[in-house]
Amino acid sequence: MKINRKKLDLFFSLNFLKIGLIIVFWFLFVFLHNLIYAVFNFEEGFFLILAVIVVPFYFFISIIYSFVKWIENGGMEKFVRK
């Protein structure tokens, strides 16, 4: 099974837009979880699992992927004068 590097970069490379979307989706999932409990008095786990496990896991994997990609591309060598 061949992994397409462009698709990995698309999904896991961090930029300011993705960081903003991660923060927005985390707040959205927490809000939806609390809203469903407040309106229906029903404890659901779907949005809670998304907010507590899935979004932070994606963020953590994206940080590692972006750091490894940054190291492969030269890291701080581009910024240090020789």
What distance in Å separates the CA atoms of residue 13 and residue 7, rounded to the nearest whole number? 10
Across residues 61-70, what is the average pLDDT? 93
What would the pLDDT profile of 42-57 be if each residue is shown by its tens digit? 889 999 999 999 999 9
Its pTM stands at: 0.84
Q: Which residue has the tokens 């590692």?
A: 64
In a domain, 7, yes or no: no
In a domain, 2, yes or no: no
pLDDT at 73 over 90: no
In a domain, 6, yes or no: no
In a domain, 66, yes or no: yes
- ∠ at Cα 9 (62, 60), nearest 5°? 5
Q: Domain count of the chain?
A: 1
In a domain, 41, yes or no: yes
pLDDT at 81 over 70: no
Give percent above pLDDT 70 in the chain: 95
pLDDT band at 37 (very low <50, low <70, confident <90, very high): very high
Range of the domain at 57: 12-78
